[in-house]
Every structure is written in C-alpha cells, then in structure tokens.
Amino acid sequence: MRRSIALVVVLVLCVALLAGCNTGKEETTSTTDSKAATKTLVMGTNATFPPYEYVDDNGTIIGIDAEIAKAVCDKLGYELQIKDMEFDSLIPAVQAGSIDFAMAGMTVTDERKESVDFTDSYATGVQVVIVKEDSAIKTVDDLKDKKIGVQSGTTGDIYCTDDYGQENVNQYANGALAVAALVNGQVDCVVIDNEPAKAYVAANTGLKILETEYVTEDYAAAISKDNNALLTEFNGALKELIADGTVKTIVDKYIKADA
C-alpha cells in the first residue's frame, strides 16, 4: 500500500514536471514569436549633434535623425530602439551587427563605403569653422599652424588631419567636448558640421561661425554590407517619406529657414 502511494506520488510528480517543462517550452517559443512579430530595429547614434540627435530634458534622444528613423520604422512595421555611442564606434557596430543601422548626421564618403553601405541621402551638411568672436582666424585660409579641435573620426577630423597635419588637430569624443575646449582656450577653432555649429554657438557666448565654408557633404544612414534586404526596405521607405514631404517637415521643425 505504502509502495503504491509512493508510486502515485512519483507519477504525479513526473506529470507535473513534464507539464512544467511543456509550459516552459511554450513560453519560450511564444516569447520568441512575439519578438519576431514586433521586429525591433536598433539605430546607433551619437546624441551630441543637435539638431540631428541630442538628449532632451527628459533624457530622450530626439532630433531630425531620430524622427526620420521613427518614420521609416513606422512605415516598415518595425519598433525603433536608439543606442547612444561614440561617433567613431558607429561603423564598427554596424559591421559587427550590434546595431542594425547608424544614423548620426553621417557623411557618405568613399572610405566609409568600403566598410558599410549607405542609404540614399536625406540631408546635406557643411563643414564650418567655429572661432571665438575676437579670433585672429578670419577665413578657412587662416587655419594653418592653428590648434584645431574636431570630433574624433568625423569628416572634419579627416579633412583637417589631411590638410593641416595631425600635430595641429586635437580630437575630442564629441562636439560638446570640442567646443568646451575652444571656450577654455585649449584650441583656436573647431571644425564641425554647420547645424550643430549653430546650436553650439547659440548655447555658448563669445563664439561665431566663419562665413567661409570648408566642405559640403551628404548625410545618409549606414547599413551592414551583409543586410541588403534592410538597405532596400530602408531606401523604399525613405523615398516615399521624401516624396510625401515628411522628411522636409521633420527638417523644417528643427531647422528654421532663417537660422
């Protein structure tokens, strides 16, 4: 009698265990399924680049790139997740697959095209020079032998290093740090894209942007060379958003025509 009770208990336990296992399995499967259904795309950016990407008072990353990316994801049925990182980590992250795409006011260059694919361009940027209001630097021709601050790994960094030599270029992790170095007198000027330059000049007293522009360039999103499907999807959505005026509306919201 005792034995049979023990047997029943063991049997019940086994059934319970098996049921438990099953439930576990189903849960795992359903979690995977629902993840696949939501399809999240991870965008990498460097959120110190207003008005393309910056952190608002609530700690949320906003800006032109964030909104265009959201519109693209909405159109394609993806959730958007934004990951903040150093600018010069973005291309390696795209290559490693730790982000699905990078959108960071990123200039299309032949050198970068060797590492990643670029979507169609959605905006134009211009490299400009920020100086102190009373600076002896009057035009881009006066940059020779001056200390130039740049954001590490950006086109501004690449052009200045080529044109004026590495010994004259101080690299900073982002635009905010480069501009702080100018304010503190550690560098004589900062070479950076025009829209962030305007935002930084507005946020700091005693700075101005030189009239002469350095280089004009195209911005696009970077996608892994192994993800041609996403490149095609992204370009399809972007084309529609450009055609129906959504991209322009987003740009105009952040960049006032007279600014």
Separation in Å, CA 222 to CA 26, 73, 96, 100: 37, 15, 13, 9
With CB under 6 A as the rule, give the number of residues binding ligand GLN: 12
Q: Is 18 exposed, middle or buried (0-12, 13-18, 19+ CB in 10 A)?
A: exposed
Rule CB under 6 A: is residue 154 a binding residue for ligand GLN?
Answer: yes
Give the separation between CA 219 and CA 94, rounded to whole angstroms. Answer: 16
CA–CA separation, 75 and 158 (whole Å): 35
Question: x/- binding map, residues 100-129, to ligand GLN, per CB under 6 A?
Answer: ----xxxx-----------------x----
- Candidates 100, 117, 188, 193; binder of ligand GLN (CB under 6 A) is 193
**SS3 label, residue 170:** strand
Residue number of the CB atom closest to ligand GLN = 154
Residue 155 in contact with ligand GLN, rule: CB under 6 A? yes
**Residue among 44, 46, 135, 171 that touches ligand GLN (CB under 6 A):** 46
Which distant-in-sequence residues (6+ apart) come within 8 Å of 85 by Cβ?
A: 44, 45, 46, 93
* Position 49 contacts ligand GLN (CB under 6 A): yes
Of residues 54 and 234, the one with the C-beta less far from ligand GLN: 54
Contact 174, 86 (CB under 8 A): yes
Q: How far is the CB of 27 from ligand GLN (least distance, A)?
A: 41
Q: Which stretch binds ligand GLN (CB under 6 A): 149-157, 161-169, 182-190, 228-236?
A: 149-157
Q: Are 101 and 41 within 8 A, CB to CB?
A: yes
Smallest gap from Cβ 152 to ligand GLN, in A, equals: 9
**Would you tell me which residues interact with ligand GLN (CB under 6 A)?**
46, 49, 87, 104-107, 125, 151, 154-155, 193
